[in-house]
Structure 1
Amino acid sequence: MKNVTDSFLSLGHWPSAGSFGFNTDILATNPINLSVVLGVLIFFGKGVLNDLLDNRKQRILSTIRNSEELRRGAIEQLERARTRLRKVEIEADEYRMNGYSEIEREKENLINATCDTLERLENYKNETLHFEQQRAINQVRQRVFQQALQGALGTLNSCLNSELHFRTIRANIGILGAVGEITD
């Protein structure tokens, strides 16, 4: 192996013109080799690199356009959602206010109905009391009348004799006869 390496090294030092060989001087050959490789790469790779860059640019632009469209769509959806939210909030406020006013109305109706019922019950109570008072008064009157009548009958029975009895009957018949003639 040492022989192969030595032969390459020995080939690199032949000073013959037009022959091919390896220059082992790194400082002299490196910029030349690099410029040749870069030139070849630029010449042949320029089209491929341009195509790759154009494709990449198109994909980036397409992605940006899609992103912009998605963003616009999202903004539109957001605005629609906000509008819908405002509408729902307004409806909720209306329902809430209607509910509160309905509750207030029901409360007032209930209070009024309760007041009416209490008033009717008060009137019924007063009528019942008045009726009971009248009934009690009538019972007392009847008792007083019965007692007075019994007392009067007792007094009459004890004081009346037959002649006084006949005179009273005749006087009453005379009064009834006179009343009958007046009406005719």
Structure 2
Amino acid sequence: MIMNRDRTGRIIGASFGLFFVQANAGALPTRIGAPLRGLAGAAFVALVVFGGRRGASGDTARPAGGGAGFGRGYWYVVAAEALALVAGLVVISRVLHAPHAVVGWIAFVVGVHFFGLAAAWRRPRLHVLGAGLAACGAAGLALAASGASTAATATVAGILPGALLLGSAWWPAPAAATTPVAS
């Protein structure tokens, strides 16, 4: 199986989606959380095994611009994301003493980081994913601030973003944004 920027990005995104679901499904009753964990695991394994195949272009194409895709722009986005995560987690845990809000902050920051990736990779469709994740994170923060249950916050800011990340790994890349790989 050919590994390229597109496939690597899909696997990374799906890995984080799997993690979101696995980490947050424990807040739900076992009869709900266990099947969600199983479905997330199956979706991830299927993506790895079958590659989220969408025809030949999905397996052998990379976005316009070539290169490895993990250049300077990518690392700037990841560094900003890491700084925002750490700063927010310090405030949430040490100042606000609201550990149930952590998942909302993480989802929000991960969502916002997709706006930077959309620009760095010239992939405007990542704005949709970023907006969805950021909205889930903001809703999770609002739920945590209003005293909602941990299960409600984990579902909105953890499980739903995980499903979005896993599902997005199966979206076909637009044909206009790909060029054949010369290997």
TM-score normalised per structure 2? 0.17
More RCO (CA 8 Å, sep 6+): 2
